[in-house]
Amino acid sequence: MDSTLIIILASILLILIILNNITIVTTTTTSVPQALCSQTTFGCCPNGVDSQINFYGTNCPGYRPSPGYPPQPQPQPQPAPAPNPPKPIGGCSGTQYGCCPNNYTPKINPQGSNCLLT
């Protein structure tokens, strides 16, 4: 029985020596996996890395708009000038404060604050 005990103890000792020499390598990744640009709504930029934020890829490096994009704004039509108010009966002498320097528009106060500067 002594020899059996010695064999068992020698086996345990050998296992402990082997386990002591084994190194367990662990790796941790803290980066969040990013979605591939090909899986996004508008796909990849020409560089194959960045994702396009719209159909035209206006956020992509080296983006140059093609002729006609974005559409050029059209000039807004100008409204027709308002018609002149009718001359007061009796001309400027028929108004309380007289006429503006254009001799056409009646003043609404002594200063003529409604008169246009010409």
Confidence check: pLDDT of 34 > 60: no
Q: What does the pLDDT look like over 5-16, one tens digit per residue? A: 888 888 998 888
pLDDT in the model for residue 94: 78
Q: Please give, one letter per residue, the 3-state secondary structure of the chain.
A: CHHHHHHHHHHHHHHHHHHHHCCCCCCCCCCCCCCCHHHCCCCECCCCCCECCCCCCCCCCCCCCCCCCCCCCCCCCCCCCCCCCCCCCCHHHHCCCCECCCCCCECCCCCCCCCCCC
pLDDT in the model for residue 44: 92
pLDDT in the model for residue 29: 56
pTM for the model stands at 0.29
- Higher pLDDT among residues 24 and 8, named by residue: 8
Q: What does the pLDDT look like over 48-103, one tens digit per residue? A: 889 999 988 888 998 887 776 656 567 778 888 878 766 656 677 778 888 888 88
